[in-house]
Structure 1
């Protein structure tokens, strides 16, 4: 029995102290389960998992793990543990070396990151350093036996351990370099498998084994085989032979159930915004409680743990592979298009699954291009794609139909005109701007609100920017000091925003809570929040966005509400239309009826096509990694995450309040996440040298001031990017 000190894989400051043996056991078990599910060689998966972290036995790594928080390493050494792990290749048959190298060598860093002087991949170091191999095998004779003890303790791996000489280890590293230098353009399933297994095991640690029985389990979605005359899509058959689906139908027609009825395997349900995926996740979870799906339901976004209250295991599972049903945003699937870190694991996870792209109604050039590229990429992976929206330009519909393979491959679903007429529910009123001050909120709008408050109505006011919503909330609070009010936008702490979303649905949306009340919001309420107001006043916006906003009024569909109309008021475009295109906003406003005329569902398509007569596609091909079926990235490499920022302008950074600085520095991951306030990188770029930026967690900027945060949220001068809201 060995008397050597126990080797660690993780320190207390990185999720809890964990031994190298325990972590390796967890990764081996998960890798085997993932390999079985995705059709990868299970024996090779076990070998790669067994070797992947053995380099953590290197004294440089062990010394770093045992440092106290904030303590500097007295003998700093550039060390990549996965490269030291390659020294144990001689324990395996030579024929297995290439596959195991693919799994191990780049499971943390790409093998090469060109044009990055700080890159630490194996080929980067080989180009820059003459001593990297000697450094990674330094003290080999002293620490390698400890790593062999780990292998000896693993069960039934079929690895006959023996001492590996330094010369053999050096030969193995040289072999790995040559193997990597010979890599051509392709993607590496083995790398994705080990990344997925390592992430899963690291998140769950001792709980990992208990989650493997439902990994990649096909869900039972029979709960959604329900029908009602109130929801006409529920009366239509969903067993068409075509693999893919295109559904265009009004809000409240039963799209969610129909799209799920079209699914045959594991489901990835995508929606545009954080609030909408929170709401959809809650709906899925409630359905599962009534008729269990027989698998796992997960939510994936930066604040997913804030709406999952079932315990630590469920919180940790959210971003991991193998869910039966996962609710997420399309941007989290964009890795398969842009080749950002972890894209191989995402490809393994989604391959062959059913992908629902719901509420495809954002038509910016970048977002539209991304959706089309995602459709192409997922179709190549054998996915079945089901696309639903209340509003889609005909040109976009035809392009999607073409990319999915035409009518032979796509079930096209739409409601007949007489059925659409039963969804007419909004009487539209246009409100002109005041000629003397066109930037100001019109006095006529305040008069409408005063009458609505006197009548006890529940009213939703929507502004196009956070700053505009904050100012409107302050003004309305002065006008109606005794009315119950709520402000909702993206610039609250993640935890605070989740709490406000729950208040919105429980307090302001409940039929048991009488009016009057006022909710002031940005476009965060446009999609999938199950709320229904009596009246709306909104700033002018693109027509597709307005249709979605109108869907928050008179939303509840009962025999009594069919045929009833509720008012929506739209302000004329002002001097600023940000964050939208003025041309699109003005064209949209011109398409609206006025003077209480009904916005007819049967006319919606014609109006949308008038606003969007042509596809708005921007060239994102520079960063897309696919050329037809051919991958343009070199194996074991990836693009940096910055590609999403540069190409789509939607990747958020984060801020925290100066008052939260100490709590953020001292908190663990979950506590830190609740304190973060998401903002676009573009918003912060001009301030990046003004505000302090922390080097922990999401590396948030520390914003001073904000004494009115609890009422108004984060404040500083800027406009908001649409997809950030």
Structure 2
């Protein structure tokens, strides 16, 4: 079994992974754990969990802390533990320039200390000379707002005819190539599956490898800016000349930095302004000069990790990060018990909340997980649980609702905003049942949306056709009617919100007194 990106788990899912490793060790299943940003203690704990399952009543073996770059091998059948005889050398060593900018969470372009001003400043080279940049935001709403602000900025600079990626003029190659200003695209998780796949394919075409002989980069003076959320951190093999990121825990920032100058063999042609790999970090700061996390971020990241990350970067005073040489010490340093903080009282409070939250999540995982293999005495304990079924999820609290935007006009209901694909009331199979192909087609238009008060306000208009009740994957969908008008699409009003689907922005949630038709 291979577990990739082993760092990408919260305390709840990490506890489930530990239990899984115990069982895999007990069953003698070989396991490969991969990560570039695990702390040494956590990496050692994963190995120990596996060995605990393999030898539940034996003397615990001493396991060295794996370090990046490096490896540790521990056998489930004997006492063999191996590690490199000497530190590994990487063929991709480099120095990453990190530019931490303290900003106010403002989208006013004329506020010099605001977030938008910092983003625009970082993108000056792209607008003037071309190149490829990713702007990574914390939430979907902020990514949408950042995209809109950039689009309006470029439209004001290049005129109303500015052609970014949001225009369908790409079908007219000559007109698109002659356009001025950077291409612009938005990517996040709240697009319908088919649309997200289209955008991802476009991004891979622009920023990914085309084949083993080279990489694909925008040609000519026009650059490209991809505004995104954490969805581009992992799995996507993308290369940027620069990454601009909201503040995030150190491990995530280093993952994002892995998209800067990623393709080195063969090296792509880079603009003159991109003299070195560089990561710009936008740190939200309050009037007192210390970390002030926007309310809009919610509980996306634990505050203590954000504070520790920011202070650790500030303590470096702009010193470049040696990759991979400094990676392990930076990841471990964020969790150091003797962390020296500029505001220790605030850090103690935030650390306490983080540790309490981690303990609660671990306890919840222990409640819903299978018992450890050495405690199982009958099949009964493997098939029964006292936990509420609603709590048994892979990611605690990661509840989303599958929604289907349904476009309505005087001619009927449609799956697409162009009103060309009819919403099927029944399937073409026997007795009106849906075929697998039909189900897949409908699901490709579904998007995830965070659960909220809007869900409890749903009524009969949000229920799928009665025939869909025979198909479990269709019966659970929530329909969101979208009225198609000459002025654009008017979304669904639920509770105090209006939820609108837009081809460029994805699912947009706004308070009703602020919502207008999306064009």
Smaller-chain TM-score bracket: 0.5 to 0.7
Partner SS for 2:259: coil
443, 449, 453: which one aligns with 2:127: 453
Distance of 2:85 and 2:125 partners within structure 1: 37
Name the counterpart of 1:700: 477
Pair 1:473–1:416, CA change in 2 (3 A): farther
Q: Is the 8 A contact 2:97 2:321 kept in 1?
A: yes
Does the alignment pair 1:678 with 2:448?
yes
1:402 aligns with 2:41: no
Select which of 33, 39, 57 maps to 1:387: 33
Of 276, 280, 296, 1:569 maps to 280
Shift of 1:688: 3.1
Partner of 2:392: 644
Partner residue in 2 for 1:513: 218
Number of the residue aligned with 2:419: none
- Residue 609 of structure 1 is matched in structure 2 by 332
Secondary structure at the counterpart of residue 714 of structure 1: strand
**Conservation of the 8 A alpha-carbon contact between 1:459 and 1:533:** yes
- Alignment partners' CA distance in 1, 2:184 and 2:85: 38
Separation in 2 of the partners of 1:689 and 1:646?
Answer: 27
2:256 aligned with 1:533, yes or no? no
Partners of 1:431 and 1:445 within 8 A in 2: no
Distance between the aligned counterparts of 1:656 and 1:440, measured in 2?
Answer: 36
Are 2:371 and 2:382, in contact at CA under 8 Å, matched by a contact in 1? no
Q: Which residue of 1 aligns with 2:186?
A: 487
Q: Secondary structure at the match of 1:392?
A: coil
Quote the Cα distance in structure 2 between the aligned partners of 1:479 and 1:457: 18
Asked if 2 retains the 8 angstrom alpha-carbon contact of 1:489 and 1:524, the reply is yes
Q: 1:499 aligns with which of 198, 204, 214?
A: 198
User: Counterparts in 2 of 1:238-277, with a 5 A limit?
Assistant: none
Contact 1:429 1:595 (8 Å CA) reproduced: yes
Please, which runs of 5 or more residues in structure 2 have no aligned partner? 52-60, 64-73, 156-180, 209-214, 269-274, 285-291, 338-354, 408-413, 416-421, 428-437, 482-490, 492-498, 512-519
Q: Confirm whether residue 524 of structure 1 aligns to residue 249 of structure 2.
A: no
Q: Secondary structure at the match of 2:34?
A: strand
| 1-structure distance, mates of 2:37, 2:380 | 39
Corresponding residue number in structure 2 for 1:361:
7
Give how far 1:622 is off.
1.3
* Contact 2:207–2:217, Cα closer than 8 Å, also in 1: no
| Superposition pairs of residues 131-280 of structure 1, within 5 angstroms | none
Q: Does structure 2 conserve the Cα–Cα contact (< 8 Å) formed by 1:495 and 1:675?
A: yes
2-structure distance, mates of 1:415, 1:463: 41
User: Structure 1 residues 665, 570: CA separation in 2 closer, same or farther (over 3 Å shift)?
Assistant: farther
Counting only pairs closer than 5 Å after superposition, residues 67-146 of structure 1 correspond to structure 2 as: none
1:428 to 92, 95, 98: 98
* Equivalent residues of 1:508, 1:517 under 8 A apart: no
In structure 1, distance between residues paired with 2:370 and 2:11: 19
- Verify: 1:555 aligned to 2:279, yes or no: no
In structure 2, what is the equivalent of residue 625 of structure 1? 370
8 Å contact kept, 2:132–2:225: yes
Q: Secondary structure at the match of 1:474?
A: helix
Q: For 1:608 and 1:518, how far apart are their aligned partners in 2?
A: 28
* Deviation of 1:388 (Å): 0.8
Pairing 1:634–2:380 present: yes
Map of 2:496 onto structure 1: none
8 Å Cα contact 2:93/2:322 also seen in 1: no
Given candidates 438, 463, 483, the residue that maps to 2:137 is: 463
More strand by share: 2
TM-score by length of 1: 0.45
Where does structure 1 lack aligned partners over 5 or more consecutive residues? 1-354, 719-725
SS at match of 2:366: coil
Report the Cα offset of residue 580 of structure 1. Answer: 0.7
Alignment match, 1:327 = none
Aligned CA-pair RMSD: 3.3
Please give the TM-score of this superposition, normalised by the length of structure 2. 0.62
Matching of residue 663 in structure 1 with residue 423 in structure 2: yes
Task: Determine helix, strand or coil for the equivalent of 1:657.
Answer: strand
Greater C-alpha radius of gyration: 1
* In structure 1, C-alpha distance between the alignment counterparts of 2:479 and 2:228, rounded to whole Å: 25
CA contact (8 A) 2:192 2:444 kept: yes
Structure 1 residues 618-664: Cα deviation after superposition (integer angstroms, max 9, x where no partner) = 21211112233344763895668633349722354311113256626
Distance in 2, matches of 1:703 and 1:594, equals: 50
SS of 2:243's equivalent?
A: strand
The 3-state SS of whatever aligns with 2:186 is strand
Q: Deviations over 1:116-164 (max 9, x none)?
A: xxxxxxxxxxxxxxxxxxxxxxxxxxxxxxxxxxxxxxxxxxxxxxxxx
